[in-house]
Chain A
Amino acid sequence: MSGRVLVGVKRVIDYAVKIRVKPDNSGVVTDGVKHSMNPFCEIAVEEAVKLKEKKLIKEVVAVSCGPQQAQETIRTALAMGADRGIHVEVTGKDYDTLGPLQVSKIMAALAKKEDAQLIILGKQAIDDDCNQTGQMTAALLDWPQGTFASEVSMDGDKLKVVREIDGGLETIKINTPAVVTADLRLNTPRYATLPNIMKAKKKKIANVKPADLGVELTSRLEVLRVDEPPQRQAGMKVETVDDLVGKLKEAGRI
């Protein structure tokens, strides 16, 4: 048991920012837009740090794939209590097409390299809403997975995960090494305070290239178009029930 936990953190457009689509429909505007750590990744980091505080694991390693700015996100994770960071440098065209499959290949390669006992990820990112990276990572490593975790407890080399499923909760017991993806209610992430961010500057962030890990980043997906969601049609008021029935008939609803 290495007692090492890998936590994936993604740099996304801040949740409070109004997203604008580029005029040529090739994607969304990211230049000059506030970015921050994906909220579900924050929850994942918090869970790892909590496990460490309970002395159930020994080391928390924050991983992020992306350009130079991804280091800021790693820094936030370090300020929250992660021990060190790994920045997998992906830039330019590779970054534009970087998807769950590529990231999970990187995570799987890193998990082997670092001899990780557990991988904790957010269930999904708020930018592409894919909800695939955790599942794919588990598949590539052939590890058990506990997705949509709302409660995690460790017992030796076993992991009890309470999962949020449609209409209720499911409790499963899996062996480690395993992959866990965090749902919204797993915990309440702590705030990365100013003094902690300063302290985090002393922690180490290793720089790795995907090629060093033997990961090929070619994507099989092509984005055809990105559109704004349709504008909601204005409603109308009707005076009587007959009016309502008439209008509904007109609209072909009844």
Chain B
Amino acid sequence: MANPLKGEVIRLYKTLLYLGREYPQGSAYFRDRLKSAFMKNKDVTDPEKVKKLVARGEFVIKELEALYFLRKYRAMKQRFSSRKVTRHFIGVWIMTIAKKLQLIIKKQTYT
């Protein structure tokens, strides 16, 4: 069990657990699924495969951060924004999100 990637995997698990505290369906819901996802791959020993799985985890982190941000942004927009100004910004907005997605996809294909 002296896998050099062990620390990496534990760090990923901790980060995801931390992010899960804010999950819309509750942290318990997220924790259960997180655990089973890790347990499912507990016998993977090939470093290449482990690296791939870690990269997938990193991708999930990015997705969660984006999800939380959008959720908060939408709530704030509904509560505090006038429609007129909102319309003005929708175009800008779509562009930023598209760029972000592109970045994520690029990263994903390189790793």
Residues of A within 8 A of B (CB): 15-16, 39-40, 124, 126, 150, 164, 166-169, 184-185, 188-189, 191, 193-195
Contacts and interface: CB of A to CB of B under 8 A. Distances in A.
Interface stretch (B35-43, B46-54, B70-78, B103-111): B70-78
Interface of B: 14-15, 18-19, 65, 68-69, 71-73, 75-77, 79-82, 84-85, 88-89, 92-93, 96
Given A40-B76, A167-B85, A194-B18, 11 more contacts: A15-B72, A39-B72, A126-B79, A167-B84, A168-B84, A168-B88, A184-B77, A188-B73, A189-B69, A191-B68, A194-B19
Contacts of A184: 73, 76-77, 80-81
A62 B16 CA distance: 27
Contacts of B88: 168-169
Contacts, number: 44
B84 A166 contact: yes
A195 B19 CA distance: 12
Those 8 A-B pairs whose CB atoms lie nearest each other, nearest first:
A194-B18, A191-B65, A194-B15, A167-B84, A164-B85, A184-B76, A39-B76, A185-B89
A168 B72 contact: no
A39 B85 CA distance: 19
Contacts of B81: 184
B7 to A, nearest CB: 13
8 contacts: A15-B75, A16-B71, A39-B76, A166-B85, A167-B84, A167-B85, A185-B92, A188-B96
Contacts of B77: 184
Contacts of B19: 194
A189 B15 CA distance: 19
